[in-house]
Structure 1
Amino acid sequence: MTETCKLNDVDPHSYLANTLTAIVEGHKQSQINDLLPWNYVK
């Protein structure tokens, strides 16, 4: 996951923190593609 973030010019720490927060806050499972590193909005 970390290397995928780096390949997509995404800070791994921020990505993981924001992704885990989104999951805990009830991000819809049907929209899981929004949480992938290449779809991550900084």
Structure 2
Amino acid sequence: MADNDPAPRTPEQIRKSRNKVLALSLAAFVILVFFISIAKMS
């Protein structure tokens, strides 16, 4: 696994990148809801 060829991607790598994207979008959604609730209070 030392070669840096991006073509052969294992399912584990695909799963990791998908989990990363899912976590980032979930965090962005939570932050968005938080700021909307703060704006509605004031």
Q: Which TM-score bucket, shorter chain as reference?
A: 0.3 to 0.5
Structure (1 or 2) with the larger CA radius of gyration: 2
Which structure has more relative contact order (CA 8 Å, sep 6+)? It is 1
TM-score norm. by structure 1 comes to 0.38
TM-score by length of 2: 0.38
More helix by share: 2
